[in-house]
Chain A
Amino acid sequence: MVPTWHYLALAAALFTVGVIGVLTRRNIIIIFMSLELILNAVNINLIAFARHWGSVDGHIFAIFIITVAAAEAAVGLGILIAFFRNRDTVNADEIDLLKW
């Protein structure tokens, strides 16, 4: 039997990889993919605890997280297409209109 904390360790590692991707990459598409990694790490935690406590509530939360991830991906990629049409780039550090 795999102890629950191994699932938590896997989720923490995936979360950290996602955070590194969000913070260091310049391409917005890859930043969005890293966000999906982060949300997936949270889902692993929720499902592992649902299994741990024998409750189905964690699955419900994971379903809502997937819903929000789908909405976020659709709106984010829509914004990305609009941005690319105006500025001809997909680099996050060139979106600096509000930068001081």
Chain B
Amino acid sequence: MTFYEVTFYVLAVVALLSAILVITCRNPVHSAIFLVLTLLSVALIFLQLQAEFMAAVQIIVYIGGIMVLFLFVIMLVNLDVAVRQAPYNRQRWIAGFAALVLLAEFTLFIYQGRDWAKLPPAAAEAVQPNTELIGRALFQNYILPFEVASLLLLVAMVGAVLMAKQR
């Protein structure tokens, strides 16, 4: 096993275990910390897939932005009552069964497509220099979706302020 393979499997196990801890912890603060660990592992997997721009965006936006927002809201909301209540709802067995059916479908399709999805990945130079290629694509081919995304962020910002404002 090369270093490249070992990094992927270690990161995959860390990401999966901390994802399971995210949904099983009683305390939302602990869930948030484990979610940071998952997002960091996913960022490193992006780096390992030679998507260094996406890894940086993942760390800056997710860990630096969204998770800080989550922690702020956890501290604004009084959770002492919620931590002592039952963490799972009444439909948990049906929901768990449905999710396992979903996992079985995923397993089936990925297993069927494993030969097709095993062709060696394209040459390493194909998505390099990464940031430059993304910039060109974003500002030439995808300029309209980019502008729409900026509008979406504006609407979300106004909406969030309006929702959270004291009346």
Q: Is B truly associated with A?
A: yes
Contact A77 B145 (CB under 8 A): no
| Shortest CB distance A33–B (Å) | 5
A66 adjacent to B156 (CB under 8 Å):
no
Q: Which chain A positions have C-beta within 8 A of B69? A: 73-74, 77
Asked whether B62 lies within 8 Å of A36 as measured between CB atoms, the reply is yes
Per the bound structure, the CA–CA distance linking A27 and B86 in Å amounts to 10
What sequence of 0s and 1s flags, for each residue 19-36 of chain A, a beta carbon within 8 Å of any chain B beta carbon?
111011111011011101
Q: Which single member of B46, B145, B149 contacts A47 (CB below 8 Å)?
A: B46
Report yes or no: A62 in contact with B99, Cβ–Cβ below 8 A: no
In the bound complex, CA of A59 to CA of B138 (Å): 10
- Say which residue of A2, A14, A75, A90 sits within 8 Å of B19 (CB atoms): A14
Secondary structure of the A contact surface, majority rule? helix
A15 and B67 CA atoms in complex are apart in Å by 19
CB–CB B38/A70 < 8 A? no
* Mask of B103-133 contacts with A, CB within 8 angstroms, 1/0: 1001100100110011111110011001001
Question: Please, which residues of chain B bring their CB within 8 A of the CB of A6?
Answer: 8, 12
Q: Total contacts A to B, CB within 8 angstroms?
A: 252
Interface pair B120/A1, CB less than 8 Å apart:
yes
Give 1 or 0 for each of B18-61: 1 = CB within 8 Å of chain A CB.
Answer: 01101100001001100100110010011001110110011001
User: Complex: how many Å from CA A54 to CA B8?
Assistant: 19
Distance A64 CA – B31 CA, assembled complex (angstroms): 25
A76 — nearest CB in chain B belongs to which residue? B160
Q: Are A40 and B98 in contact (CB under 8 A)?
A: no
Give which listed residue, A21, A34, A69, contacts B66 with CB less than 8 A: A69
B46/A80 in contact, CB under 8 A: no
Is the CB–CB distance between B58 and A66 below 8 Å?
yes
- The contact sample of 23 A-B pairs, CB cut-off 8 A, is A1-B120, A4-B118, A5-B118, A7-B45, A8-B117, A13-B16, A17-B19, A18-B19, A24-B23, A25-B87, A27-B28, A43-B54, A44-B46, A54-B127, A56-B133, A56-B137, A59-B51, A59-B54, A59-B137, A74-B157, A89-B81, A90-B77, A92-B89
Having A10-B16, A60-B145, one finds 5 other A-B pairs with CB under 8 Å, namely A34-B23, A50-B127, A72-B156, A78-B163, A82-B164
